[in-house]
Structure 1
């Protein structure tokens, strides 16, 4: 597929609804567990599961718009590029944040405030903030 310079409101809304649905199901599941289950093993398993699940949610978030072109996305520190850097690091660097030479990454301007070399452990609240910023930036730069 060729690079995309814009997306329709329907495409963005669909992706945002899908992400929101998965986040709601996760929240429902963890709420049910917290209300019904006791035991250190269960909560330890949930602690281990959360960053894996939300790391994969970042991958899914990126996939909807993977063909976005750099000319529109820019090379500056923004949530679209932060997601790209996180995805690259999850896929190709063992989950440790590394920069991409063509992108400017400024930890203080990022949503998650990760430093280069930090392990990526995205939690539910992190993903909520990151996805909201991603969709806002996507709309401002790519909405057809």
Structure 2
């Protein structure tokens, strides 16, 4: 990742809007959980909160291993590549999946099976499958020396 010394106003506003959305979604979830009486409201709050939370877990998972130089990574569409692509799309493509063309990410072979243009809206089982595959691949490709 290149070092940056400045950011456009649009980039800063977009980042701020994403953080504000996360806080608002979490706040709505908390209110629904605290009232506890309206199960429909709780379900709606959970449904809004879950994909935001899980997208952030994808970002965190990617960030834990961002010191791996790109030239050391394969380009075969493995779960590491999938997480990198998801992170890039979450950060820079408004949660719409888009393969960059340099990595062989096919819906038939990736963990999530996303196609270009699909909304990145994970469920807990989706995230668990992705995380399990990602950490297995990290363990296999980059074991302690």
Smaller-chain TM-score range? Answer: 0.7 to 0.9
Instruction: Provide the residue aligned with 1:79 in structure 2.
Output: 79
Which segments of structure 1 move beyond 4 Å, counting only runs of 4 or more? none
For 1:111, the equivalent position in structure 2 comes to 111
2:96 pairs with 1:96: yes
Distance 1:67 1:77 in 2: 19
Q: Which has the larger radius of gyration?
A: 2
Post-superposition Cα deviations, 1:1-30, rounded to whole Å, max 9, x if no partner, equal: 9xxxxxxxxxxxxxxxxxxxxxxxxxxxxx
| In structure 2, distance between residues paired with 1:130 and 1:39 | 29
Give aligned pairs, total: 112
**CA distance, structure 2, for counterparts of residue 112 and residue 38 of structure 1:** 32
Q: Extract unaligned runs of 5+ from structure 2.
A: 2-32
Q: Give the TM-score normalised by the residue count of structure 2.
A: 0.72
Structure 1 gaps, min length 5:
2-32
8 Å Cα contact 1:89-1:96 kept in structure 2: yes
Q: 1:63 Cα shift? A: 0.5
Q: How does 1:1-144 map to 2 (within 5 A)?
A: 38-144=38-144
Equivalence for 1:22:
none
Q: Quote how far apart the aligned CAs of 1:101 are.
A: 3.1
Q: CA RMSD in A?
A: 1.9
In structure 2, distance between residues paired with 1:96 and 1:79: 18
- Higher relative CO (CA 8 A, sep ≥ 6), structure 1 or 2? 1
TM-score (norm 1): 0.72
Asked if structure 2 preserves the Cα contact closer than 8 Å seen for 1:72 and 1:141, the reply is no
Q: 3-state DSSP class of the match of 2:100?
A: coil
